[in-house]
């Protein structure tokens, strides 16, 4: 999280933090593992009142930010979600709300309104089952037939599809990408719940079997949505990374506390140099995670030229090093670290989940390599050999 917050941002962050502390303490998160939705509707609606769903939405349709950079503000919410391993479809709802308000003009204003109030949830149907070549390859077809579009294909994993009223579906029309907004009760749409590592996030496989909709359901232009999709991906990655850093922070704090408290051979664990040095390494990963998540959020928020690279760097780094940090925390806790009764696994789950969604660290390293290659080697002055 940013070293320096404005007082408005600090107040905003603290309001969400307090709400999560009260509403979803660790005990409640454990209980929610048996809840089909993973969260209650009232919780989400009250969160929406705190601003969880409006930060990426234009003011004309009812959104607005705290700092002028809505994504940076949202990353504060995401960070607190991670710190509390909080339930709720933060990524899909925000990404879909942003997509609809950014490209849909007034066309989807009503749906945006439902998402803003927390009355409805949306899911983004992006990832696809194997076989696919690499991150972002899309096989699902969206065909234009007269005044209709017809959707055919499978998406998985789709977060919150089972709870959502609307699905934003990314597909292919010929050589280009198209996005359509599909009400979940449209004939031909079927969802099958998946199991997941997280206690409160829910995922489905969603099948589209000749799902027919009027072209008004298209979000943006037919066959020309690639930039929009890339933007959505960057938003999703930014939120996931900020959330993972929050989870890393809580796990690290708890492990440090434990190291002072737990004794072995008559002295605290924190007095053994072999362990102190591992904590020092973890501290560098944690601070580096904060640094890169914040830089990515700022770059994506302002749509800077290096946003794509920074956000992939953030995902690759936080994915790998966040995972290592959590596993180190488990190791330094000993046996208790592997139990359901200890809170550590709540954060391990969140980091494990976010590590893989929207591209594994390896897939993002490939994206980074593409960017490095495109930019050309090193910094070379114009005209110089």
Partner 1 sequence: MNGVVGDEIEDVEDVESFRLRARAWIRASLKPYSAERAMGLGSVSAEEELAAVAYERQLQRAFFDAGFAGICIPRKYSGQGLTPAHQRAFNEELAGYECPTRFQIPTMAPCAAVLLEFGTEEQKTRHLPAILKGEEIWMQFLSEPSGGSDLAGALTSAVRQGDDWVLNGSKIWTTGAWWSDWALCLARTNWDVPKHRGLTVFILPIRQPGIEISQIEMLNGGKDFCQEYLTDVVVPDADRVGDVDNGWTVCVRWMFHERTIFTSSYVTHPVGAPRGNGGAAPIDIARAADRLADPCARDLIGEARMLEVVSNELSRRISAGMTSRRMSDQAAAVSRLFGGTARARTTTIKSELAGPAAAAWSDDDGAASQAGVGFLMRQTSCIGGGTTEMARNVVSERVLGMPREPALDRDVPFRDVPRGGSRRA
Binding site for partner 1 (CB under 8 A): 3-4, 256, 259-260, 268, 270-271, 273, 276-277, 279-281, 283-285, 287-288, 290-292, 294-295, 309-310, 313, 316-317, 362, 364-373, 377-381, 384-385
**Of 107 and 279, which CB lies nearer to partner 1 in the complex structure?**
279
Round to whole Å and give the CA distance between 238 and 231: 11
CB of 307 to partner 1, least distance (A): 12
**Of 138 and 286, which CB lies nearer to partner 1 in the complex structure?**
286
**Of 21 and 277, which CB lies nearer to partner 1 in the complex structure?**
277
**Of 216 and 372, which CB lies nearer to partner 1 in the complex structure?**
372
CB of 8 to partner 1, least distance (A): 18
Q: What is the 3-state secondary structure (H, E, C) of the chain?
A: CCCCCCHHHHHHHHHHHHHHHHHCCHHHHHHHHHCCCCCCHHHHHHHHHCCCCCCCCCHHHCCCCCCCCHHHHHHHHHHHHHHHCCCCCHHHHHHHHHHHHHHCCCCCHHHHHHHHHCCCCEEEECCCCCCCCCCCCCCCEEEEECCEEEEEEEEEEEECCCCCCEEEEEEEECCEEEEEEEECCCCCEEEEECCCCCCCCCEEEEEEEEEEEEHHHECCCCCCCHHHHHHHHHHHHHHHHHHHHHHHHHHHHHHHHHHHHCEECCEEHHHCHHHHHHHHHHHHHHHHHHHHHHHHHHHHHCCCCCHHHHHHHHHHHHHHHHHHHHHHHHHHHHHHHHCCCCCHHHHHHHHHHHHHCCCCHHHHHHHHHHHHHHHCCCCCCCCCC
Round to whole Å and give the CA distance between 364 and 290: 18
CB of 232 to partner 1, least distance (A): 22
CB of 348 to partner 1, least distance (A): 21
CB of 244 to partner 1, least distance (A): 14
CB of 179 to partner 1, least distance (A): 28
Round to whole Å and give the CA distance between 14 and 77: 9
CB of 269 to partner 1, least distance (A): 9
CB of 328 to partner 1, least distance (A): 14
Round to whole Å and give the CA distance between 84 and 346: 9
**Of 131 and 187, which CB lies nearer to partner 1 in the complex structure?**
131
**Of 199 and 242, which CB lies nearer to partner 1 in the complex structure?**
242
Alpha carbon 357 to its chain centroid, in Å, reads: 8
157 upstream amide cis, omega within 30 of 0: yes
**Of 2 and 184, which CB lies nearer to partner 1 in the complex structure?**
2
Yes or no: say if 169 and 158 are a contact pair by the CB < 8 Å rule. no
CB of 258 to partner 1, least distance (A): 12
CB of 343 to partner 1, least distance (A): 20
**Of 96 and 269, which CB lies nearer to partner 1 in the complex structure?**
269
**Of 19 and 285, which CB lies nearer to partner 1 in the complex structure?**
285
**Of 166 and 358, which CB lies nearer to partner 1 in the complex structure?**
358
């Amino acid at each position: 999280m940013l070293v320096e917050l404005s007082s408005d941002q600090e107040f905003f962050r603290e309001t969400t933090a307090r709400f999560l502390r009260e509403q979803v303490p660790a005990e409640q998160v454990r209980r929610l593992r048996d809840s089909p939705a993973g969260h209650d509707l009232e919780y989400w609606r009250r969160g929406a009142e705190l601003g969880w769903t409006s930060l990426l939405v234009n003011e004309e349709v009812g959104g607005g930010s705290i700092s002028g950079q809505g994504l940076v503000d949202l990353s504060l919410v995401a960070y607190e979600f991670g710190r509390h391993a909080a339930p709720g479809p933060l990524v899909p709802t925000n990404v879909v709300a942003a997509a609809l308000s950014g490209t849909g003009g007034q066309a989807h204003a009503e749906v945006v309104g439902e998402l803003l109030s927390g009355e409805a949830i949306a899911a983004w149907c992006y990832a696809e089952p194997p076989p696919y070549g690499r991150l972002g390859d899309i096989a699902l077809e969206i065909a234009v037939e007269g005044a209709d579009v017809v959707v055919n294909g499978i998406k998985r994993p789709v977060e919150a599809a089972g709870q959502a009223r609307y699905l934003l579906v990314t597909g292919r029309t010929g050589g280009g990408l198209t996005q359509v907004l599909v009400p979940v009760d449209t004939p031909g749409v079927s969802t099958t719940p998946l199991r997941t590592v997280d206690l409160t996030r829910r995922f489905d496989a969603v099948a589209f079997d000749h799902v027919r909709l009027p072209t008004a359901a298209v979000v943006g232009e037919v066959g020309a949505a690639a930039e929009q999709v890339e933007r959505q991906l960057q938003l999703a990655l930014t939120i996931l990374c900020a959330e993972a850093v929050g989870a890393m922070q809580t796990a690290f704090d708890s492990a440090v506390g434990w190291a002072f408290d737990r004794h072995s051979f008559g002295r605290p664990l924190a007095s053994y140099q072999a362990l102190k040095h591992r904590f020092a390494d973890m501290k560098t990963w944690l601070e580096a995670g904060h640094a890169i998540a914040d830089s990515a959020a700022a770059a994506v928020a302002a749509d800077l030229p290096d946003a794509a690279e920074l956000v992939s760097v953030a995902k690759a780094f936080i994915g790998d090093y966040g995972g290592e940090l959590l596993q180190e925390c488990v190791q330094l806790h000993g046996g208790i670290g592997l139990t359901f009764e200890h809170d550590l696994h709540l954060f391990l789950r969140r980091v494990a989940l976010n590590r893989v969604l929207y591209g594994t660290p390896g897939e993002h390293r490939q994206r980074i390599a593409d960017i490095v290659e495109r930019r050309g080697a090193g910094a070379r002055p114009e005209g110089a050999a």
